Structure 1
Amino acid sequence: MKNPKSFCVWRKILDIRESIWPHFFVQIGDESITNAWEDNWLPIGPLSHRLSYRSIHRIGFNANSYVMGVVNNLDGCWPPDWNSSVPNLSTFNIPQIQSDACDKVLWLNSSNDLVLFVVREIWGSLDGVHATVDWHKHVWFKGCIPKHSFCMWLVVIFGFPFRTV
């Protein structure tokens, strides 16, 4: 039986997908893991936002093609159909394969800097920076039981609801 709470988590992640997608960028290396159509590897954004899947299939690719396969098959120039469909596409050079470097996922943080994709960095840019409170060592300490510490933390933050009868 599947946990119904996991569905709520995934639903919330999918809800914020459109707002965080513009923050993801891919720095091309060996082009082995970057999807040519859905990943943000060109300055104009993902090609799937500019080209129809029909035009992608017409050239001989599919939705699962990697940048490496596209680069190897294009022979250094963009197809004429794509140049007419996507303004300024011809101004972007087709990237060269760098076999000594891997593709890297980057994050555009709140100060408009591209940084390596690290959960701590992303959480900081989404949630903001908060001051450290003086009581944190009383709640989170070495040897604490995480469930108890979490409950205590909630009590300190939100107060304990007493019944008034």
Structure 2
Amino acid sequence: MLGLRQLLRDYIWINVGNGMRTFAWFDKWDDICPIARMITPRMIANAGFSMTSKLAEVCEHGEWLWPDVWTERYPTLAQLQSVILDQTRQDRLEWKTSSGQSVEFNTATAWDAIRFRQNEVPWAKLLWFPQAIPRHSFLMWLLVQKKLKTQDIISRWNSSGNANFNLMCCSLCSSCPDSDDHLFFECSYSKEVWNGVKGKAGMADISEEWNSIFQYLLGISASDIAKHVITKIVVSASAYFVWEERNRRLYSSKKRKSSILVEVILSTVRLKLHSMRLKKSSSTVQVLQEWALPRGLLVADDDRG
């Protein structure tokens, strides 16, 4: 937390009132503050001030009381806005965004200010949407980013040359080393899983190749139509449980048939759908029938929360 002070201090401002609580040299009360970045302790002392001087001690009737030579030496000081102290109210802390807007402080605001930012990727809404299951979305994020520790990636880590990576094989089908493309869903086992769920996802005509699946998902990623939301949930759940089964077989003797895994995936999705509220329409009614869900999940458009 202490290491974040330098990142946070530019967002913590003083809304100046009477100037009695604002440290003239160290607090942020103007865009160029803190002044201590320019003025040295020796200069402060030579001008008759102290390191703890308040703003009210260095400003009088909107005029600065420090030597003119400071402005000559540091022209930036001339950009300071005139401060008219208001004796009727005290100074108070406030949080300012990078756009200069004063907002109420909370941890979400602070995180949004200091986090590393990039442009939104086109597949963002494919992973992160209100109805998503978080752990499934995280696995999908790893998959899309090619960050899963599959055997083809692990084989590249052979720095010593002693390991025999030729002995690696997919724990699901034992035919070849696993990889993103193999596991999702070209492996004979995961292909059976995919063929068991893709009809429910409205993707009956989509092959088991990950690139084909991903391209289809990109086309519906921003859609909030019920069947498209369900498609994203089904694919994420399928990837999650195939990866889980892969790890289960690597680190234990437990195995599940592909038909069992299909039922686990569909049951998980069905349970998630029970917590959703769907806009009433003919297509949504059909979705309820396909998933054997109660009509009580249907609501009018203006009743959805």
TM-score bin (small chain): 0.5 to 0.7
Residue number in structure 1 paired with 2:46: 58
* Cα separation, partners in 2 of 1:106 and 1:50, compared to 1, 3 Å: same
Residue number in structure 2 paired with 1:118: 105
- Separation (CA, whole Å) in 2 of partners of 1:133 and 1:57: 61
User: Is residue 62–residue 83 contact of structure 2 (8 Å, CA) maintained in 1?
Assistant: no
The match for 1:34 among 22, 27, 30 is 22
Letter in 2 for 1:122: A
* Cα separation, partners in 2 of 1:61 and 1:126, compared to 1, 3 Å: same
* Cα separation, partners in 2 of 1:93 and 1:20, compared to 1, 3 Å: closer
Letter in 2 for 1:99: Q
Query: Are 1:82 and 2:82 matched, yes or no?
Result: no
- Separation (CA, whole Å) in 1 of partners of 2:37 and 2:70: 12
Identity among equivalent pairs (%)? 20
* Cα separation, partners in 2 of 1:63 and 1:117, compared to 1, 3 Å: farther
Q: Deviations over 1:46-104 (max 9, x none)?
A: 110011111111111111111112224x9824421211222132343441210123223
Ranked by relative contact order (alpha carbons within 8 Å, sequence separation 6 or more), the top structure is: 1
- Separation (CA, whole Å) in 1 of partners of 2:2 and 2:58: 29
1:21 shift after superposition: 2.0
Residue number in structure 2 paired with 1:10: none
Question: Where in structure 2 are there 5+ consecutive unaligned residues?
Answer: 118-127, 134-247, 253-305
Aligned residues, how many? 127
Q: Which has the larger radius of gyration?
A: 2
1:20 shift after superposition: 1.9
- Separation (CA, whole Å) in 2 of partners of 1:54 and 1:122: 35
User: Is residue 37–residue 46 contact of structure 1 (8 Å, CA) maintained in 2?
Assistant: yes
- Please report the TM-score for the alignment, with normalisation by the length of structure 1: 0.60
- Separation (CA, whole Å) in 1 of partners of 2:104 and 2:55: 20
Q: Deviations over 1:143-163 (max 9, x none)?
A: xxxxxxxxxxxxxxxxxxx9x
- Please report the TM-score for the alignment, with normalisation by the length of structure 2: 0.35
Residue number in structure 1 paired with 2:11: 23
- Write 1 or 2 for the structure with the bigger share of helix: 2
Give the RMSD, CA atoms, in angstroms: 3.3
Residue number in structure 1 paired with 2:243: none
User: Is residue 26–residue 41 contact of structure 1 (8 Å, CA) maintained in 2?
Assistant: yes
